[in-house]
Amino acid sequence: MKIQLFSLLANKNTEAYHSSDFEAGGYKWNLVVYPNGNKDKGITDHISVYLVMTQVESLNPGWEIHATFRLFLLDQNKDNYFTLEDVAGKRFHKMKLEYGFDKFVPLTLFNDPAKGYLVNDTCVFGADVYVTQEKLTGKGEILSLVKDPISYKHTWKIDNFSTLTDEYLDSKPFNAADQTWKIQVYPKGKGGGKDIYISLYLALAEPQKLSPATKMYTKFTLRILDQINGRHDAGTATHWYSASNSSCGWPRFTSISFFKMQSAGLLVKNSCIVEAEVTVNGMTNEL
């Protein structure tokens, strides 16, 4: 990569110059030169140079490329190269596409006419790339946490509770954090709460729409509202929801005997009110 009038590139405070893509080992790469140093790395007295893998979108998921490389700068006086080499090799993958040298050459040496790196305001950078190994590493995932998550509330009134005969009852689906949810109540209990407790769960309404790699780190609270005293019967939990793990709750949420006590205020005029508060704090997706 030959750069003419290099001083103009440096004086314009250009952060970095990217070469056109070139091919090596069947893959695409480019060379990136920071004429005043990579300030993100705190470099101001050296030229920084990096090798970057490009056009990776078409590669198979889980790709991984091992390569050794050397980056060089032409000494135009002696017609040979100042070279820095990565002899150990680097592992390029989707989360790490760039390797190189923060301090490739000091600016004082680069600008010294006797060194031959900058002659008539022209310089030449280059790269040799050797792909040594190619393999698939399987699937990857990315976890995205939410800094200020929003809590969503949904209230569900169930009338004629004593006449319910189904094993469980679903609320109407509701939306929270771009997902569809539902509350599930088992009037006569489920599992370890069978016939003694009311069981209460928060479930994904459409888990089949999630990809196998998607998981949602969710904090939720379920309440049966006390309609008389305001002392609600509540439970709070966290759960990683996914297509294969789409429900979480309590088989022993509250005893049937307590639920039916008039003084408890949970069942008034044969109606109860169930509330869900849902907060999605993070999500994992396929990388």
Res. 126 pLDDT band, cuts 50 70 90: very high
CA 225 to chain centre: 37
Q: How is 230-251 classified by DSSP, letter by letter?
A: ---EEEEEEEEEESSS-EEEEE
Given 138, 170, 190, which residue is the final one in a domain? 138
Same domain, 107 and 233: no
* Confidence band, pLDDT 50/70/90 cuts, at residue 10: confident
Domain shared by 183 and 86, yes or no: no
Position 287 scores a pLDDT of: 65
The verdict on 192 and 224 lying in the same domain is: yes
**Region class of 5: left (phi > 0), else alpha (psi between -120 and 50), else beta:** left
pTM: 0.59
When pLDDT is cut at 50, 70 and 90, the band that residue 157 belongs to is: very high
CATH number at 110 reads 2.60.210.10
Per the CB < 8 A criterion, the answer to whether 156 and 183 are in contact is yes
End-to-end CA distance of the chain: 33
List Cα–Cα distances, 251 to 37, 187, 228, 263, in angstroms: 61, 11, 25, 23
117 and 163 assigned to the same domain? no
Total domains, the chain: 2
